[in-house]
Amino acid sequence: MEKPQEDAQKWVGDSSVDHKGRVPRRASTGCWKASLFIIVIEFSERLSYFGLATNLIIYLTKVLHEEVKTAAKNVNYWSGVTTMMPLVGGFVADAYLGRFSTVVISSLIYIAGLVLLMVSELVPRLKPCDPSICGRSLRLHEVIFFLAMYLISVGTGGHKPSLESFGADQFDDNHDEERKKKMSYFNWWNFALCSGLMLGVTMVVYVQDAVGWWLADVVLTAVMCFSLVVFVVGSPFYRYRAPEGSPFKPMLQVVVAAAAKRHLPLPSDAGELYEVPKTQKSDKRLLCHTNQLRFLDRAAIVEHKYDEAAFAAEKHNSWRLATVTQVEELKLILSMVPIWLAALPFGICVAQANTFFIKQGSVMDRQVTNSFKIPPASVYSLSAIGMIVSVTFYDKLLVPFLRKATGNERGISILKRIGIGMAITTVAMISAALVERKRLRVAVTEQTSVVSMSVFWLLPQFVIMGIGDGFALVGLQEYFYDQVPDGMRSLGIAFYLSVLGAANFLSSLLITIVDHITSREGKGSWFAKDLNKSRLDLYYWLIATISAVNLCGYVYLARRYSYKKVQRKVAVADSPRADV
């Protein structure tokens, strides 16, 4: 018995390979030694992304002279596309290219977008200017600018799901010590993310405002190029997983097989359902049967139990007979749909932080000293501080305490963590509504475009939002990575990102609906061109109400949710009857 245990300590047996296609050595590959290279490029990408994204609404209103509601919609559209594109990138990574190759290719596309952005600021005929002074239209600059921004969206689409899942792949789920390290990985991944965010919304935004957008674009392009080199240098330390083809084909086969056998009665004993034979050597983890969505179990019913010749033909027809694991993988995806939908109001809350929250800051007193004024987008760093504090507290204090108190390896379940984050972000929206109401009263009294009220009044809503993100965002990342089938983990991260993407589109739709309804009233729209005549406080109350009602539904779903159950030891006979 000692020999297999020694081999398990020496070699990684989770179907991954090293850079030469061999079984990886545990001591020289994976874990933190590999993840650090991966986290470096994530830091650089987030530095670039947030350096551009958080100041985008300011650029659109002050440089391209768009109205606030138009700029907010454009930001939401861009953010929505950027966070929905990972569905495509994740599919390509899992099915065809593999995660490492997808990261490299998407990083090159990302860099191309940064270069084009830099060109739009440096080439004289493309540079933005005030049309009343330079006498030319901004149309050409707008076309190049948005083309560059959406190239960055495409690059992010492959980069985000592949890189985060590639980093998590460096930890072996079958090894107790590495599995615990993976639970910390998502926390420290987000620590690096927030560090890049903080530099992006402080240093980069300050350069954009004080020196010029062109210099910020040059710096971001250079940093992204350097980080890509670092990522490639780490190749010998990585563990790689080969793409497994389309993950949707086996699921379609389950649906077809279940429909074909819809008239067959379900066996009372789940052990009669078909599973992978023991004689088939495979590193793929098998899943335990669950009692949810039982109608799909018909796909694994063996029709020819006692006819060996007919059974041999049947088990080779994947459109007629599926394994229990394939059925359970489809159940996992279907079970995620209600959780995905319940997370959308949380995403709408998050969407306010880089649009209206920042625009609020732009009309408040940002003077710190006689010579220094805080750029509006830099206030977003307060959210990153809240998230860093939240993640550090959770990983270093709360989880160790809860592990001892409950005996649960995670401390608290993933869905409980997400629910706590949702509740906290609802409080953040209430705080935002109260602060905005006070700001509007000051604006009425002073009758000035920029009120004397300090921008630090926004600190509570940003910090509370950041703390909520530390619970909910990190929890959603872990949930969608952990609960998807093993061959869909890039898509799992894409599902998480698509929550934010769909929420951005919903936020734009909500703005349109609310603007249409309130514009017909005598008091005017809640989104007037002058922010001091808008009613963002009422809009924040509306979002807080939606979020609070949704939280009740989420709690109901979470209490009924069945987590993925993996067979640690498998003994399956090569017969119609599975012995699990």
**Residue 25 DSSP code:** B
Tokens of 237: 């330390």
Give me the chain's average pLDDT, please.
Answer: 84
- pLDDT over 50 (residue 573): no
Domains and CATH numbers, the chain: 13-243+343-534 (1.20.1250.20), 248-325 (no CATH)
pLDDT (0 to 100) of residue 370: 77
- pLDDT over 90 (residue 488): no
pLDDT (0 to 100) of residue 423: 96
**Residue 54 DSSP code:** T
Output b/e per residue, 325-345; b: 16+ Cβ within 10 A: bbbbbbbbbebbebbbebbbb
Closest CA to 413 of 346, 482, 463: 482
pLDDT (0 to 100) of residue 127: 80
- pLDDT over 50 (residue 48): yes
Residue 336 to residue 454: CA distance in whole angstroms: 43
Condensed to tens digits (0 to 9), the pLDDT of residues 235-273 reads 999 999 888 788 888 899 999 999 999 888 888 888 888
- 131-145, 350-364, 481-495, 547-561, range with the lowest pLDDT: 131-145
The sign one gets for the Cα dihedral 440, 441, 445, 450 is: negative
pLDDT (0 to 100) of residue 278: 59
- pLDDT over 50 (residue 283): yes
pLDDT (0 to 100) of residue 578: 34
Closest CA to 348 of 105, 565, 79: 79
Condensed to tens digits (0 to 9), the pLDDT of residues 62-94 reads 888 788 778 878 887 888 788 788 888 888 988
How much of the chain, in percent, has pLDDT values that exceed 70? Answer: 93
Please state the rounded mean pLDDT for residues 145-159: 92
Q: How far is CA 13 from the centre of its chain?
A: 28
- pLDDT over 80 (residue 9): no
Residue 47 to residue 362: CA distance in whole angstroms: 22
Using CA atoms, how far residue 395 sits from 233, 336, 402, 410, in Å, is 29, 25, 11, 10
- pLDDT over 60 (residue 409): yes
349: amino acid identity, one letter: C
